[in-house]
Chain A
Amino acid sequence: MKTLIHLIFLIGLITWRPVTAQDQLAVAVEMIATQRGDQGIDLKVTVTDDENSEPVKGLMLRFTGAAGDKTVDLGEATTNGAGVAELKGGNLEALRTAGRSFVFKAVFAGNDEYGPAEASLEITDVKIILTVEVVDSVNTIKATVTSWNEKSEEIPFAEGEVKIYVPRMFSLLPIGDITTDDDGYGEFEFPVDLPGDINGELTVIARIEEHETFGNAEATIATTWGVKADAQASRLPRALWSPDAPLWMVITFTILMVGVWYHYGLIVYELIKVKRLSKASDAIDYSE
């Protein structure tokens, strides 16, 4: 037994070798940032296997942000089954004291299987101020967008495109665009026929999307401009898509089922009669 253990140990010693960089697989890291209305930041990273572009699960990434000569640790997140790691609501207040141009980094330190990798993204601070107002009986969304120049002076975001959405059950419903003027201001006439909740409440989202300087940025505001939903859900008509099948379908189905099963019942009844007749006195007769 002792010899066997020695032998196993010896084989292990001979065959063991440390993990080298050549053994590790490379990963590709992509990052997108969304500046939030509350002045925080959302960072989303997608990690894929460099060789076959399959998402890589379970990698821990550390996020940092830098402005001027200041760097802050924003936190960490681990990739899910889709290879996505998200950092929600990173606080940028400390960075804003040092400057308005940010560099974000997501760093994967590497493990036995995958080599180290990182992604970085540079964006400039932007602010969307969203207000709602009824102007001449028209529900109006007003957006003012400002940014900061190299001297950290606040300047309007002129001729910028801001998309307006309303969140629905599964995704954001685009309802229109605002193009800002020289003052960074624009407005949008809100539709009157959007269904809201029972109080008519709706959330409006204004987004700058994939801008080369700002990345993504968004602001949200609540309104009561939706059409009030009925507290009592109205009864749906009989239809293919409703809980109750069309009447003709129910009738056809019932006729078919009753027709077939009635005859099955009749046959079982005949069988019972055959069984009862075995006790009858009729003589056995093989003739036809």
Chain B
Amino acid sequence: MNIEKTSNTLLKEFGPQLATWSRRELAWMAFWGIIFLGGLYALYVQVTEGHIVTGMRDHVIWGVYIVNFIFFIGISYAGAVIAGLLHLFNPEWRKPIMRMATLMTVISIIIGPLYILLCIGRLDRLHYLFMYPRLQSPIVWDVIAVITFLVGALLFLYLLAIRDFAILSRSPEVMAPWRRKLYSFFSAGFINTRMQRRDLNLALTVLSFILIPTVVIVSSVLSWIFGMTLRPGWHSTIFGPYFVLAAIYTGTGVLVLIMWAFRKLQKLEAYIQERHFVYLGYMLVALAAGYGYFTFSEYLTDWYTSEKWNAELIHRLMALDQYGYMFYFANFAGILIPIILIGIPKFRSINTITFSAAILVLAMWFKRYLIIVPTLETPLIPMQDTRLEYIHYTATWVEWSLTAAGIAMFFLMFKLASKFVPIVPIWETSEMIEKEKKTAAEATPATPTTQTSLS
């Protein structure tokens, strides 16, 4: 196989994209940059005036910051599971989207915990968490889990990028000298010897094996922050697997959105093809079915017991003058739309899969909101003689701005990362193209093939 030649061809295409900015990309950066700056101003307001500028009060102590934390952390876990599984099962088509999945993992795991910092009233005591940790506390479990996972995710991203760093460091005609020096440093001396390939593959396989159970554990740990609490809507034995499934479901949706955005933004239609959307679409349908089952089981058991506080919460969730619209959107539209639009072949296309992904991602954000806020508005002891704003939570402009800033940061970091390392892995995509060429040639030996993504 002539992987070197193919990778050189890809390098000529992707190399200049690393060093230059198109108008479309600049507009993208400006758009998200403005939103991010708005978030910085909101942060300034919160720091100077205190948490009174948020909607969080004595009773509803968590709001959209925690929703965002769970949302981003979930996306991150999903990225690792998808990348890990794809690496282990080794389907060839995976290769162009592996970098996106791992970048999504790392960027989300960096952004998610920032929302915890926004939520904490006494940041000056944050170091106590490390100085005086209590092993019995789910919060401590979560901090350790997130840090452990962050290290694993960074290692995975790096291991997958080493071969590209090596290629980029040896391309004087495309890369500036300072870039080549940097790539050379990060390439860890990879010159593609047999032994190096063996060691790198071994490291990747070991890490894939480790990351998947790690994701299951850390995602469950996150759910136990709620599950270990005696509150209606939280104290549930299925919260662990429910959170794992919800995280992978959301993350797969976000990956589809990222693929769609970068396909358009960097004109990657030749590499991120319809089949990538379709395969991830199949995954979404399976996950939607599983997630739908868990959701039904969770609410049915709460509703059937008719226990006073659970019944009050269920009423609050379903009443149209309270959380009804959000509830039906999150639990019906977010599950059924992907199943219908992707499951029925007639409707299935890149655009409908992307649309389904957008709906489910939005629905899953609302779902996290429904887990946190209505429960906190339904405490186990009656609230009397208190102010209305203490009972009902409404996010303020500061919280919305910082939420938007987190999304902006996600896309900005993604774009900046794509200027350092190609968003489509050069080496692995070259491997895929060469293998597919070979397979096509073997399948039809008499007919000269013209099917190549690069032609």
Contact = CB atoms under 8 A, between A and B. Distances in A.
Contacts of A273: 195, 199
A277 B151 CA distance: 24
Nearest to B141: A253
B136 A278 contact: no
A271 B195 contact: no
A240 interface: yes
B203 interface: yes
A287 B192 CA distance: 10
B194 A267 contact: no
State the main secondary structure of chain B at its contact with A.
Answer: helix
Nearest to A263: B210
B190 interface: yes
B210 A280 contact: no
B144 interface: yes
Given A274-B162, A274-B189, A286-B4, A280 B195 contact: yes
Interface residues of B, number: 32
A264 B196 contact: no
Contacts, number: 88
A240 to B, nearest CB: 5
B413 to A, nearest CB: 23
Interface in A252-280: 253, 256-257, 259-261, 263-264, 266-268, 270-271, 273-280
Most B CB atoms within 10 A — which of A241, A264, A268? A264
A261 B135 CA distance: 18
Nearest to B2: A286
Contact of A271 (B3, B203, B214): B203
A1 interface: no
A270 B202 contact: yes
B144 A264 contact: no
Contact of A277 (B134, B148, B196): B196
A131 B58 CA distance: 43
B214 A260 contact: yes
Contacts of A279: 189
A150 interface: no
A286 B136 contact: no
A245 interface: yes
Contacts of A288: 1
Nearest to A262: B210
B200 interface: yes
A270 B203 contact: yes
Nearest to B427: A286
A243 B210 CA distance: 31
Interface of B: 1, 3-4, 134-136, 144, 148, 151-152, 155, 159, 162, 188-196, 199-200, 202-203, 206-207, 209-210, 214, 217
Given A279-B189, A286-B3, 9 more contacts: A245-B135, A250-B135, A256-B217, A267-B159, A270-B200, A270-B203, A273-B195, A276-B189, A278-B188
The 5 closest A-B pairs by CB, nearest first: A278-B189, A245-B135, A270-B203, A282-B193, A275-B189
